Structure 1
Amino acid sequence: MQRRPLLKILAAATTFAAAGLTLPALAQGTYPTKPITLVVPFPAGGTTDIVARIVADKLGQQLGQAVVVDNRGGAGGSIGTGYLAKATPDGYTLGIATASTHGINPAVYPRLQYDATKDFTPITNLASVPNVMSINPNVKATDMKSFIALAKSEPNKIAYGSAGNGSVSHMMGELFKMSSKTELLHVPYKGVGPALNDALAGQVQVLFDNLPSSLPFIEGGKLRALAVAAPKRVAALPNVPTFAELGLPEVNDAAWFGLIAPAKLPADIQAKLNAAAIKVLAMPEVRAKLEKLGATPVGDTPQHFAQQIATEVAKNKRVAAAAKISLD
């Protein structure tokens, strides 16, 4: 009596094997059955890490398994992202993609160990964070029009600080120069913190930055915001226009943080992760935490997110080529 079910199971397994199906394929219907690792390609404490941890806890609840954050920082996010690209595409190793890892790095690192558009399965863009261009209040400009006029009258005499060569702030600065037809002096720092400090002190006159780190100083009058890179004006800075409003739409892209997996992730697992992530982003407590960070929850389709990545890579390759930016 007990042998027939066993024989049926063995026969089914033989059939699957003959069809070339593997054990992970058989297990897809019950995914996940164990904890999931979420690779964050930057150190703990930064915006990428914070967004990942806000989402990870609730995502684990939706999936019924813990989602454990694994910080693997270094080389502008290239180390952790390269690690993810080589992971098994079974849904148990996921990662966070950013404008740095999937836009800038492919444009500035000639020997990058991954292909941003081919080596990953996009799941969804989780959140976007506005960028901001601000100036030291001692600069004799009150708005973007007067600043551009000043910059054109003094080529390469006005300096902007960045988080380093090939950083988001560097690429944004170069894109601004190209779009506004101005010449600014680039001063790279080792991280946005030192660049911010020197902008406050007036050692550099301009700063391109993620809004959350600059906002307290803008609100305190220690920096003057000229424009934000966001789809619409930011609630915290209602009088500051977007770059698009000012006729500089090329500079109007916000920073973003998306959920990805290695290439060739099974479609049913991709769909399950997408649906779970979108439910998480709709939770009031998750939205509140993200918005407190200055982030806007997104939650789009894998196809839309894939197109965003491709667009980001193409844009940054144009900027890197024009500004002759190449890192080893």
Structure 2
Amino acid sequence: MDRRQFLFSLAACAAAGPALAQNRPIRLIVPFSPGGSTDVIAREIAVLMSKSLNATVVVENRGGAGGLIGAAEVARAAPDGFTLGLATQSTHAVNPIVYKKADYNPLTDFTLLGEIALAPGILLVSDKVPARDLAGFVEYLRGHPDRLTYSSPGTGTIGHIWGEQFKRSTGTSMLHVPYKGASQALADLAAGQVDSTFTSVASAFPYLKGGRVHALAVSWPSRLDMLPEVPTYAEAGWPDNNQPTWYGLVGPAGMPGAARQAIQAAMAAALQADELRKKYLGQGVFPAHSSSEEFAEVIRRDMERVAAISKAANISVD
């Protein structure tokens, strides 16, 4: 099928809603390694979008450099509707600010298709920390500056940004311990090698069952059904930290309107499916849907916030 036929089919799909018939697969590039929550989020929506479009949506993992490599590949791809990318807060709000080698503009080098999921963050402390609520933790930190540590998946990651945001908003001081991934950062927290960490609920949940780590706050509008005893940051008195992380879909800049509309229609249908909602909630994430304009505003706002935090904390990655 040539490009003109493809666009005609896309336009028909967007206007009338029937399945898209074509032979070429659509690539969905995930800028992280297989197996994590980001990968699961992409694969679940890809299955349902394939059904709506009557075209195979193939997930391709392009990990490396904190998501820079995969995101840049999407930005450089032909804007014909056959290459999509999973955008995250890291790839589109953090990396362009903290990475010196970031070579894409998250607002102008992509077609922003919309958000697909939100994920609450969580503050965990080890069993060795003498605090079991957020107020007590802040009080202890203020009385013991630079005594405690917090781990993150690495310098310039969203966990690092969350940690520095927390320090800034509470007027406290901790030592940052960067790891090469969330798994080791959490494992060492459970082992008592570090004192705290800022991560997603999806990553943290398996560690909460052992009783060796304790949850002090979540970044969500209300308490989570899965953790009803854990208050939100806003509820505990620090609303500036009450920002969840997000996931969205993008394509290269200049994607034809027919392709964009058809893919957005498939996204919307997938996000309304009970099947997707159940699988997302099982991963500790919540389906979300926004327009291109709303998504752009989310990215723009987060870039401003990250820029302020990274400047104050002198966060920069070569």
TM-score (norm 1): 0.90
1:179 partner amino acid: S
Confirm whether residue 268 of structure 1 aligns to residue 241 of structure 2. Answer: no
Structure 2: distance between partners of 1:169 and 1:241: 19
Structure 2: distance between partners of 1:278 and 1:247: 35
1:197 partner amino acid: A
Contact 1:97-1:260 within 8 A present in 2 as well: yes
Note the alpha carbon deviations across 1:172-204, whole angstroms, 9 max, x for none: 100100011100111111111111111111111
**Matched pairs, number:** 306
154, 162, 182: which one aligns with 2:152: 162
Structure 2: distance between partners of 1:299 and 1:47: 18
Contact 1:95-1:261 within 8 A present in 2 as well: yes
Note the alpha carbon deviations across 1:148-168, whole angstroms, 9 max, x for none: 010000000011111111111
Confirm whether residue 28 of structure 1 aligns to residue 7 of structure 2. Answer: yes
The CA deviation at 1:248 is: 2.0
Aligned to 1:183: 173
The CA deviation at 1:93 is: 0.3
Aligned to 1:64: 54
Structure 1: distance between partners of 2:191 and 2:157: 22
Query: Structure 1: any 5+ residue segments left out of the alignment?
Result: 1-22
1:190 partner amino acid: K
Structure 2: distance between partners of 1:142 and 1:36: 48
Contact 1:121-1:264 within 8 A present in 2 as well: yes
Aligned to 1:4: none
The CA deviation at 1:27 is: 4.3
Note the alpha carbon deviations across 1:269-313, whole angstroms, 9 max, x for none: 222211211110111111111110011000221111111111121
Aligned to 2:233: 243
312-321 or 78-87, larger mean C-alpha shift: 312-321
Aligned to 1:284: 274
Aligned to 1:298: 288
Note the alpha carbon deviations across 1:240-265, whole angstroms, 9 max, x for none: 11112223222211121111111111
2:59 partner amino acid: V
Instruction: Write the mapping of 1:302-317 to structure 2, written as runs, cut at 5 A.
Output: 302-317=292-307
Residue 298 of structure 2: SS of its match in structure 1?
helix
Aligned to 1:222: 212
Note the alpha carbon deviations across 1:124-144, whole angstroms, 9 max, x for none: 211111110011122111211
Confirm whether residue 152 of structure 1 aligns to residue 131 of structure 2. Answer: no
64-73 or 311-320, larger mean C-alpha shift: 311-320
Note the alpha carbon deviations across 1:66-104, whole angstroms, 9 max, x for none: 000111110000001001101111110000000110111
Residue 44 of structure 1: SS of its match in structure 2?
coil
Contact 1:228-1:242 within 8 A present in 2 as well: yes
Confirm whether residue 173 of structure 1 aligns to residue 169 of structure 2. Answer: no
Confirm whether residue 135 of structure 1 aligns to residue 121 of structure 2. Answer: no
Bigger Cα Rg: 1
Query: Structure 2: any 5+ residue segments left out of the alignment?
Result: 11-19
35, 44, 60: which one aligns with 1:54: 44
1:235 partner amino acid: D
Structure 1: distance between partners of 2:45 and 2:222: 24
The CA deviation at 1:220 is: 3.3
Aligned to 2:107: 117
2:177 partner amino acid: V
User: What do you get for the CA RMSD once the two structures are aligned?
Assistant: 1.4
Confirm whether residue 197 of structure 1 aligns to residue 180 of structure 2. Answer: no
Contact 1:104-1:316 within 8 A present in 2 as well: yes
Identity %: 40
